[in-house]
Amino acid sequence: MIKAVIFDMDGTIADSEKIAQRVTREFFQKRGIVLTRKEEKIMFGLTWKDLVKEILSSRGHEYKQSIKNTLKERYVRTMSKDVKALPGVYDLLGEISKNLKVGLATNSRHREVDIIFDKLGFHGYFNLKLARDHVKKGKPDPEIYLKTAETFSVKPCECVVFEDSIIGLKAAKAAGMKRVAIVNTYTREELEPESDLVIECYQDINLSKILALGGEDKS
């Protein structure tokens, strides 16, 4: 039986991954580093520190905290102005929050969570918000998902996770949770191997379909 639904944030409920992609691309282009499309996709779901490490090390450069800080601040400024919710997410959140526990588990820091939740009005839908600050290891490690289940006093198999990235799906899979992938930053074909269900948009999912992932049907 499904008792809790856990959402990733960036690219899953807030369309912020594309902002991060654009800001990162422009930031490194000005520094003479041109990212390939493959590199940009690999970066989805990583923490800012890991993202900058990956880019710099692939070009033979040492990681510098100052570069990460400058990039992240540029993203936060842009995101706080431009971020939008994914279409249909409010209707789904409204439906499931009346019936199940709803949590957030993100590789973003708590500061970014607050900015997005304040701007998009998500606070009333969530019983719990966990950010990168609250765990020792970020995704793809399953720690943040396991901690969410523990806080909710539910078993991992009683949780459904919504994710848009391969890294996030792998974290949820390692935690032993059911996984719904939304097509946003990856294609359906890329998401299917790591998912129990792939949706094109939130109009494709409802409470009954979520409960059915645990073998229950309320239709």
Model pTM greater than 0.85? yes
In this structure, the dihedral spanned by the alpha carbons of residues 99, 95, 159 and 112, taken in order and rounded to 10 degrees, is: -120
Q: What is the DSSP string of 62-103?
A: ---HHHHHHHHHHHHHHHHHH--BPTTHHHHHHHHHTTSEEE
Give me the pLDDT at residue 130, please: 98
Pairwise CA distance, residues 219 & 201, whole Å: 20
Domain boundary assignment for the chain: 4-15+84-212, 17-82
Instruction: Determine the pLDDT at residue 119.
Output: 96
Lateral strand order in the sheet of 197-199: 128-130, 101-105, 4-7, 159-163, 178-182, 197-199
Q: Which fold has domain 4-15+84-212?
A: Rossmann fold (3.40.50)
* Residue 90: half-sphere exposure toward Cβ, Cα within 13 Å: 9
What's the confidence (pLDDT) of residue 34? Answer: 93
Q: What are the pLDDT tens digits along the chain (219 aa)?
A: 999 999 999 999 999 988 999 999 999 999 999 998 878 877 777 888 989 999 999 999 999 999 999 999 999 999 999 999 999 999 999 999 999 999 999 999 999 999 999 999 999 999 999 999 999 999 999 999 999 999 999 999 999 999 999 999 999 999 999 999 999 989 999 999 999 999 999 999 999 999 999 975 444
* Measured distance between the N- and C-terminal CA atoms of the chain, rounded to whole angstroms: 15
DSSP state of 159: E
Between CA 91 and CA 57 the distance in angstroms is: 42
Catalytic (active-site) positions: 8
